[in-house]
Amino acid sequence: MSMPELGRLEDLPQDYRDDLTAQNLVPLWPSLRAVLPPGKPAPRTRATAWNYAALRPLLLKAGELTPIEKAERRVLVLANPGHGLEKMQASSTIYLGMQLLLPGEWAPAHRHTPNAVRMIVEGTGAYTTVDGEKCVMERGDLILTPTGLWHEHGHDGDQPVVWLDVLDLPMVYYMEAAYVTEGNAQTVTGDAAGMAYQRGGVVPAPLFVRGTSAYPMLRYAWADVRMALQTLARTQPNIEAVQVAYVNPETGGDAQKILGFSALMLRPGETLNLPARSTALVFHVIEGATSVSADASSFALGAADTCCIPGYTPITLVNASAADPCFVFVADDAPLQKKLGVYEVRRP
C-alpha cells in the first residue's frame, strides 16, 4: 500500500509553531516518515572500509607525537562518516579503534561500563591483565574486557603492538550509562592462557560444582579458533558457511551481552552470500584477502583491513585466492537486538 504524504512543518502557521516551541512541544506528523520509514530503516551507517597499510604510519606517528602518559590509550578511532567523525561510531552501536602500545609502555588500570574486546593485529610481547588474569596478546587472539572488569595493558617485547578495539561504547553512551573508574596496577592472580576452558565440551567442575563467573573465558587464542575452523571445513565439507561463534563456555550463550563475535573461514575460491539481517556488521581480515560487497559498495580487504556494512543488506564475500583460505573476524550487535526482540533475518 502506498503511504499518504503527511503535512509538513512549513504548512503550520509560524505563530502556532512558536507557541509549540515555547512549551517544548513538537508535532509528530512532519517527522513520522523519517523515524519510521516504510519497509526498512534508513541507516546513518555507511559502508566504510579502513585500510591497515594506510592507517599504520599514522598510528606509529601518534606513537612519536603523543607519549602514552598523555593518551592513556593511544588509539585512532575508525569513525563512520555517516554518523559524523566526531561521534566515534563505526555503526549505531559499535565503536572501533586501532590501539598502539610501544615496547616498555603501560596503559594504566581502569574499569568502565562499556564492554570491550581486543582483536590483536600485529606484534608480540604485549599483554593485557583483565580481572587479575594475564592475557598474552598474539595475532588473531580475541581478549574480552567485559563491563566492570579492571584492565590494563603492558608490553615486554621489542616491537610495536597494535590491536583492534571493539566496544559497545556508542550504545552505552547513548543510554547515558558510560563512565570510567581509574585504579592501581592489578596483582596478577591467574593466567588466561593456562585456563581450563580451552577444550570444547569440558569445563571446570571442582567437587562437582560448576563455575558461576559471568565471564569465565577472557582469551580466545587464535591458534585454537583457526584449528576449529579448519576442522569444521574438513569434517563438514557441505556446511553453508565455515563459521564459529565466540561463546561463554559455561552457558553456551554469546560471549558478551551487547555485541556478538564470530570467525569465518572462506575456503579457497569460496563465494559466501550472507542473508540480509537487521544488524550492521564489522569484518576484519585476520589472514588472507577477500572482497566484501553490499548494495553499491565493494571493498577489497587484505590482512588487517576492516570494514563496516549497514544492516538489512545482503552481503557477499569472495575469497581473493583460489589457493589459500581467508580468515575473517566478524562483529555485530545481534545479542542486543535478540534481547530487544528486533532481530531479523531476511532470506531472499
Q: Least distance in Å: CB of 336 to ligand 1HN?
A: 18
Please list every residue from 100 through 119 that binds ligand 1HN, using CB under 6 A. 112, 116
Instruction: Give the whole-angstrom CA distance, residue 325 versus residue 216.
Output: 31
Query: 111 - beta bridge partners?
Result: 181
Please list every residue from 134 through 163 that binds ligand 1HN, using CB under 6 A. 151
The C-alpha cell of 267 is what? Answer: 575456503
Would you give the binding string for ligand 1HN spanning residues 16-55, x where CB under 6 A is met? ----------------------------------------
Q: In what helix (H) or strand (E) does residue 75 lie, and over which residues does it extend? A: strand 75-77
Q: Least distance in Å: CB of 240 to ligand 1HN?
A: 34
Would you give the binding string for ligand 1HN spanning residues 76-105, x where CB under 6 A is met? ---------------------x-x------
73 binds ligand 1HN (CB under 6 A): yes
Instruction: Please name the residue that has the C-alpha cell 603523543.
Output: 66
Instruction: Give the phi and the psi of residue 198 in degrees, each rounded to 5.
Output: -85, -10
Strand order in the sheet with 242-245: 48-50, 306-309, 281-287, 326-332, 260-266, 242-245
The residue type found at 8 is: R
Q: Least distance in Å: CB of 251 to ligand 1HN?
A: 25
The site for ligand 1HN, by CB under 6 A, has a size of 10
Mark the segment that binds ligand 1HN (CB under 6 A) among 135-143, 165-173, 276-284, 322-330.
Answer: 165-173
DSSP state of 54: H
Taking only Cα atoms into account, the Rg of the chain, rounded to an integer number of angstroms, comes to 22
Instruction: State in Å, rounded, how far the first CA of the chain is from the last one.
Output: 21
Contact residues toward ligand 1HN (CB under 6 A) are: 73, 75, 97, 99, 112, 116, 151, 165, 167, 169
